[in-house]
Amino acid sequence: MNNSIHQFQAKNAQNKVVDFADYKGKVLLVVNTASKCGLTPQFEQLEALYQEFKNEGFEIIGFPSNDFAKQEPNTAEQAADFCKINYGVSFPIMEKIHVKKGALQHPIFNFLGNNAAGLNLVTHPTWNFQKYLLDKNGLVVDYFVPTTKPDAAKIKSSIKELLKK
């Protein structure tokens, strides 16, 4: 269980505790977000991806963070409202956290970065919109750098494969 995201809890933007064990059996895409970033329009593609696969057992979870160039000045609740109003986001937006590697990094992002394949320098977020793909057992199976668009073929094909398992 220690290598699964299902061991964690975090608060959502409305300050309610979310138990990640509730996501057992679902394919997850966890993303660190910011509302004032050049990549912010990715919310539109994330929502389209969510709509495409949500009825098949797929979830996206967004974590606002102000770690990179202070591009998330809003509170978590304001960030969630921004996403909904401007991009129609209906997937969960969580509490505002630290995602950058270091002493303040939230345990979920420490777990994601440490369990993603590759070099640790690259697997931990270095900018907004880093994406982590997890299988139905809560294990990190892949990650995508911020500039990888959510509707990229490699993300969609990976989601499809994981949903079949």
CA distance 132 to 145: 9
- Catalytic annotation on 37? yes
Q: Is 125 exposed, middle or buried (0-12, 13-18, 19+ CB in 10 A)?
A: buried
Catalytic residue chosen out of the listed positions 21, 37, 122, 152: 37
Active site residues: 37
